[in-house]
Amino acid sequence: MEVVITLRLHIELVYDPECPNVDKARAVLSRALQDVGVPSVWTEWCTDDPACPGTHRGYGSPTVLVNGKDVAPGPHPWAPQGAVSGPRCRVYREGTKVLGAPPVDLVMAAINEAVGPDVV
């Protein structure tokens, strides 16, 4: 009997170009990927870019998606972007702390779940 292990991992960072927490989210992603032991590779989507998928434009900034799932599903404290509303910054909670980027533990948990092998 042959066992085939397939790893599926697609990570995306969705951000508003004016959000001050994008670099924090990048650092969290780098650390989480390093700690899990997978390559530090992800796709970034700027919500102002016409190439950004329409499904991603409604996320607050920064949002990390692993295999299409938000690492910290809502509800989220942000407002839709308007002509004069500024960036749609998003915050995360870790216990009593309020963070500008998702906690490393949440990102690592989502990655670990995603890289769990499918045995065929």
Specify the pLDDT at position 30: 97
Which domain, by its residues, includes 112?
A: 5-119
CATH number of the domain to which 27 belongs: 3.40.30.10
For 26-74, give the DSSP string. HHHHHHHHHHHTS----EEEETTSTTS-GGGTTS-BSEEEETTEESS-S
Q: What is the pLDDT of residues 76-88, one digit of tens each?
A: 555 444 545 555 7
The tally of domains found in the chain comes to 1
> Which tokens go with 105?
């533990």
Q: Is the pLDDT of residue 5 over 60?
A: no
Specify the pLDDT at position 79: 47
How does residue 6 score in pLDDT terms, banded at 50, 70 and 90? Answer: low
Q: Is the pLDDT of residue 97 over 80?
A: yes
Other CB atoms within a 10 A radius of the CB of residue 99 amount to 18
